[in-house]
Chains A and B, each alone.
Chain A
């Protein structure tokens, strides 16, 4: 597979380039009969950003994406693209393109005909449409394959044809519906980097649906986490990981140990939290005095074989060796903990008593809505 060639080297007339547009949902609801697929959702995607819709299957993320495209119509609420109300416009009237999970390449057309389809149906003369298509195939690195039928390409190549076809009209907004789900694990990493690079180079507004939180963390400017037809949390990858707003997000983004603590006192933004016998100073994030739930990332928990008096004591139950890291199940008074350690040579044998401590700068956070 050849990599997508750098785009900035291409000379493109600046006048033809459209401004990336924002996408805004205002209290949008989608119902199918009695089932509510999307429930009163509001968000804004800023121009030129890549925003991921992340969530487990059935959470309404794909429906949200299809409502941006105009493939589903909102039951209530307003949808704006670039400050224009498109709520009642059909898909054909919106300046939006989509890359489908199955790629949806037309089997009765060649690669070139597929990519040139958009301009052709817009009434662009065939010659110009083919020129536009060739330009995009060049960007995507598929020049020379344009005469083939889609079924004669590999999965990764088909995926790039789908991207080229979506790019050819230079849409205000580009949508991806789980674009990597049909690729093997190694190829996935590469393609997602290509997509990110393309988005940044062409300054596109992209909405991207995935259920893979690692993929979302890797490519996004912003992530919208959805659960049960609602938005669970919106934020940058860093915010979601370090400051989950609720139990669902804490659990869904990365691994987390949910532990119970007690807020002893609050001074300014900082709360004194007692966990087991330990005292931690953490941002209180709106939590009052009394019991709270905390999310502790596996790599923010430290284990020490030299047991110290006064520290939280635990016992290693299970040890797994994964090459770059070690994973432990630890039994402790605050519950069973899942701990990851990087760069350690010797594994701690199961049954070893350990003392447990927490990182103070990152990786442990009070969950406000729990």
Chain B
């Protein structure tokens, strides 16, 4: 019996006997005695919560191998104890809720309303975690995963977290879609809601009426996907195949949208083209073009998303264009193909997987985008905003939100599935192990001209939009009053000196501190869980690995709005009642951003020879030590990538967060959205610029903290960090 196993057995008892089993009422302020013994499951059990007492059986079973060290099947005892313990906790948690029995069968069997209990607290969490670890240690003792308790425990923890924070909410939303408003199973209600005319109606084809929201979403998604792919290709071709002088600038522009909160572009568009926008004013004064609200609706959302997501297509495509072996084009030329023919018959077909990838990414991004439609869509309704208004609006119809979420989820998962099914089978390998001494073919004139004509105006437009963002923060009111001012910054970030020290009286400080706190908490957690998962996926073999991989990537494919709805549906009631806490925000970010850590971890790990880990193992280092001393130092680039990404995403996310914030934990983005809705554009813009600045500082700080990886090579060529390509809101 290892010391670690013993420690977890002790912790399982601590959780049951000492710590408070239930969470506290948020109104009551608990005193110290509530934290110890008196609130524990044992005391509750003796005082009448009889359903907690059976948990003593698995707790006792875990002690058997401790008391009798001579017995043979230690592993079996531990496994049995862990399984039974987890099962008991889950069963009692789900069958007894705040208002008594939760299942009709139990109600009719034992009478109404039955016993009631609150959501689980520290004690329950600790005991459940300890049971899980005991189970994993038992499995390791039985020879699973080469007898490595660290590996089995890691798998156990990640699987449990995914089950609780991905599968449980998603299944809740499915269940809620099939229920009527009082919570009974009602498939007819689902069919009625699903077939609703406001979702699938096609009136816009035949009359002036509006089409269904599902068609709107699909149409916008396709438009944006086409647009971003075309623009991205033009940029990528210019960056790799021409002598264009400002290539560096393109690179910088490709990073900008990552650190821009998603609705800021929409905001800038309003300031430019809105009824009192800067450009609208000029057009009116100089040419007499009447002011109008054309920007609100499909055109506005389309332009905003095009601006926001073109860099992602660019990043995908530049890798593909660079990867095409010049030798293939030279081979085509030696076979007497003209440069245009070569481009059309060799280069372009080889880019097909990259184009498809960019297209699908653009599509998914557009579907999942919440910030821009919220700010700009006006009467053009899309699914993500419709879900939001179904939950928070006057209708308060959770079933409808669930149905809409399922449709949106089906669209995105369908796109991901298509990408997988279509691209997975074809081989377009053009980067081989052999050196390639060919020189890339210069672009045919026609293609080069077309690229310049699309890309350059677009680049100028993007720069103009960002200029507006900066200018807007420092003038009194865009479009009306261009007096330079710090007024917006003062309103948001005023600091006063009071008797007791500094007083942060600015209106934005609360949300700013909350955001930084949540982002700073979630970034290391995200990186840790993501890289651990990547390590398990690349370095270990265990049954169910494919399902495990699917689970980790699932949360990536779920649009943020759906995540938000599913979290409030799942975590608003016992047994896991965490809505309104900062914890739910942290967990939400961890699981939305974890797949990026997984992917960059997998990419980096697959470049590191597996025998390095094995060498460490045979030298007597356990997996945990190997991880710390060999794997992590070599993983530095992936650590930086996932830390930066998760920090930045936590600062800029809107879609999921907007459902989860409270007065206490208001996030910067939701605060800004609130300001926009109140028409305080200056304040919103000023806050956004501040956020962008903080993120840039944070990126530099993370880079400095984690440091470079030392490979003892004379010139370490860092792999391009995969952070940017993964951006799905």
User: A residues near B, CB below 8 A?
Assistant: 69-73, 87-94, 96-98, 100-102, 104-108, 110, 117-118, 121-122, 149-152, 162, 165-166, 169, 175
Contact = CB atoms under 8 A, between A and B. Distances in A.
Most buried by A among B141, B612, B615, B629: B615
B611 A102 contact: yes
A107 B611 contact: no
Nearest to B75: A88
Contacts of A98: 614-615, 618
Contacts of B147: 70, 73, 88-90, 93
A98 B615 CA distance: 7
B693 to A, nearest CB: 34
Given A92-B622, A107-B634, 5 more contacts: A90-B622, A102-B611, A104-B614, A118-B621, A169-B619
Interface in B586-629: 609, 611-612, 614-623, 625, 629
State the main secondary structure of chain B at its contact with A. helix
Contacts of B616: 106, 117, 121
Nearest to B150: A90
A157 to B, nearest CB: 14
Contacts of A88: 141-143, 147
Contact of A100 (B142, B148, B615, B710): B615
B72 to A, nearest CB: 12
Contacts of B620: 92, 118, 121-122, 169
A107 B633 CA distance: 10
Given A107-B634, A108-B634, A92 B617 contact: yes
State the main secondary structure of chain A at its contact with B. loop
Given A92-B620, A96-B618, A117-B616, A149 B143 contact: no
- In the complex, which range does the number of interface residues on chain B fall in? 20 to 34
B334 to A, nearest CB: 36
A91 B618 CA distance: 5
Most buried by A among B147, B148, B625: B147
A325 B629 CA distance: 54
A73 B381 CA distance: 57
Contacts of A89: 147
B146 A73 contact: yes
Interface string B696-713: 000000000000011111
Contact of B713 (A90, A151, A165): A151
Contacts of A105: 615
A151 B618 contact: no
A117 to B, nearest CB: 6
Contacts of B710: 108
Contact of B143 (A69, A73, A117, A175): A73
28 contacts: A70-B617, A71-B146, A71-B617, A89-B147, A91-B617, A92-B621, A92-B623, A96-B618, A97-B619, A98-B614, A102-B609, A104-B609, A105-B615, A106-B615, A106-B630, A107-B711, A108-B633, A108-B712, A117-B619, A118-B621, A121-B621, A121-B625, A122-B620, A149-B712, A151-B712, A151-B713, A162-B615, A169-B619
Contacts of A91: 146, 614, 617-618
A173 to B, nearest CB: 10
Interface of B: 141-143, 146-148, 609, 611-612, 614-623, 625, 629-630, 633-634, 709-713
Nearest to B711: A107
Contact of A97 (B609, B618, B711, B713): B618
B711 A104 contact: no
B614 A71 contact: yes
Nearest to B619: A118
B634 to A, nearest CB: 6
Contacts of B712: 107-108, 110, 149-152
Contacts of B146: 70-73, 90-91
A150 B712 CA distance: 8
Most buried by B among A121, A149, A166: A121
B622 to A, nearest CB: 5
Contacts of B617: 69-71, 90-92
Contacts of B615: 98, 100, 104-106, 162, 165
A169 to B, nearest CB: 7
Contacts of A70: 146-147, 617-618
B390 to A, nearest CB: 46
Contacts of A96: 618
Contacts of B143: 73, 87-88
Nearest to B709: A108
Most buried by A among B612, B622, B623: B612
A71 B146 CA distance: 7
A110 B713 CA distance: 12
Contact of A165 (B619, B623, B633, B709): B619
A71 B383 CA distance: 50
A105 B711 CA distance: 11
Identify the 5 closest CB pairs spanning chains A and B, nearest first.
A149-B712, A118-B619, A104-B611, A104-B615, A91-B617
A102 B619 CA distance: 16
A110 B615 CA distance: 15
B228 to A, nearest CB: 39
Contacts of A152: 712
Most buried by A among B141, B146, B710: B146
B148 A90 contact: yes
Contacts of A110: 712
B155 to A, nearest CB: 15
B652 to A, nearest CB: 33
A158 to B, nearest CB: 12
A303 B549 CA distance: 66
B150 to A, nearest CB: 9
A102 B613 CA distance: 12
A102 B612 CA distance: 9
A310 B617 CA distance: 66
Nearest to A66: B614
Nearest to A175: B618
A87 B142 CA distance: 10
B625 to A, nearest CB: 5
A165 B143 CA distance: 28
Nearest to B144: A73
Contacts of B609: 102, 104
A342 to B, nearest CB: 41
A101 B611 CA distance: 9
B632 to A, nearest CB: 10
Contacts of A165: 615, 619
A106 B147 CA distance: 24
B143 to A, nearest CB: 4
A158 B264 CA distance: 55
B618 A71 contact: yes
Nearest to B609: A102
A89 B146 CA distance: 7
A97 B614 CA distance: 10
Contact of B619 (A93, A107, A121): A121
Contacts of A166: 618-619
Given A88-B143, A92-B620, A106 B148 contact: no
A110 B612 CA distance: 14
A332 B112 CA distance: 99
A63 to B, nearest CB: 13
A81 to B, nearest CB: 13
Contact of A117 (B614, B621, B622, B634): B621
Contacts of A92: 617-618, 620-623
A102 B614 CA distance: 11
A91 B142 CA distance: 15
Contacts of A108: 633-634, 709-712
B85 to A, nearest CB: 24
B608 to A, nearest CB: 9
Most buried by A among B142, B146, B619: B619
Contacts of A175: 618
Nearest to B608: A107
A364 B625 CA distance: 55
A105 B625 CA distance: 16
